[in-house]
Amino acid sequence: MAKKNIAVLGAGMMGTGIAQLFASKGHKVMLIYVYDDKLRAKPVETMRGNLQVLLEQGVIEEAQIEETIANVSFTESLEEAARFADVIFECIVENLTVKQDYFAKLDELCPPSTILASNTSAISITEIAEKSEHKERIIGTHYWNPAYLVPLVEVIRTEYVSKETEEAMFELLEGAGKKPVLVKKDVPGFLANRLQHALFREAISIVENDIADPASVDDAIKYGFGMRLGVMAPMEVMDNAGLDLTYSIHKYLFPNIENTQKPARLLEEKIERGCLGFKTNEGFQKWTDEEIAASRKNLTEGLIKVAKALDRL
């Protein structure tokens, strides 16, 4: 397929990662600064750092660093981006009104053929499109961090989106080496966050009820079924084990696992005490600055190793 011109609204972590992804695949990319992005964000430095890690891990050649950076330009003008882009990915603050206003403005400025996509992880795509006229070209595309490493992109239908927009987005994402999955209903949490936070709820409950400590919970996943999930995930696991066995386990187990519809009290208590995680050096566990840096480094390098092993990079 012909390379599309890609614009990304917002130069934060996710916007920069998406820009890097498409630039590395040969697309011309324009990053649109919003708010204080121009002063605060350092997208070129961030991309160069990300690419350096990929070089050190043997994923790319040295020449690809400058080739990728050269494909990215910058603007503060929505008008300039509208003239440039075939597709615009929005990666700004998680505020419905702000997103609606930006989409309405872009909808007004862009030709009807331009696809407008939101990377929101929480807000209804249908609601984001409400103030726009050409709702059929607005779609959800929820990337996972780091956007240039994790293959998954959730493609979320709205009440208005056209089949043509959906198909064009799948073609674009697949051409960039991503694994798009279709979310047929625009529901809170879409698909993967519903799964992820169901696991988080049970993990917190296990700690809260003194069944195991936080490190043991993490180890049980990392050294147990978490290793399997990238190869055989829940629906296939259940078919493999047998639905009759799955039914028997659920009948016995479900009355004993967490089903609260509110955030855990333990989570509230941690927040009240100012224990917010890495940002305060303590969350469910205590973290030194060195441990935090090592954890983040391990995530990036670990994801690269897993992706290479599973041929997903």
Contacts of 200 (CB under 8 A, 6+ apart): none
Element (H, E) at 153: strand 152-156
Show pLDDT as tens, one digit a residue, over the chain (313 residues): 689 999 999 999 999 999 999 999 999 999 999 987 777 889 999 999 999 999 999 999 999 999 999 999 999 999 999 999 999 999 999 999 999 999 999 999 999 999 999 999 989 999 999 999 999 999 999 999 999 999 999 999 999 999 999 999 999 999 999 999 999 999 999 999 999 999 999 999 999 999 999 999 999 999 999 999 999 999 999 999 999 999 999 999 999 999 999 999 999 999 999 999 999 999 999 999 999 999 999 999 999 999 999 999 8
Closest CA to 177 of 312, 307, 52: 312
In the chain, list all ranges with CATH 1.10.1040.10. 193-309
CB 90 within 8 A of CB 104: no
Q: Which amino acid is at 309?
A: A
Query: Could you give the CA distance from residue 301 to residue 297 in angstroms, rounded to a whole number?
Result: 6
For the 193-309 domain, the top CATH level (class) is mainly alpha
In the chain, list all ranges with CATH 3.40.50.720. 6-183
Contacts of 228 (CB under 8 A, 6+ apart): 237
First to last CA, the chain: 20
CB 141 within 8 A of CB 117: yes
CB 5 within 8 A of CB 85: yes
Residues counted in the chain: 313
CB 208 within 8 A of CB 262: no
Question: In this structure, is the dihedral angle defined by the CA atoms of residues 196, 25, 156 and 134, taken in order, positive or negative?
Answer: positive
CATH numeric code, 6-183 = 3.40.50.720
Contacts of 162 (CB under 8 A, 6+ apart): 136, 137
Q: Which amino acid is at 79?
A: E
Helix 63-70 and helix 13-24: axis angle, to 10°? 110
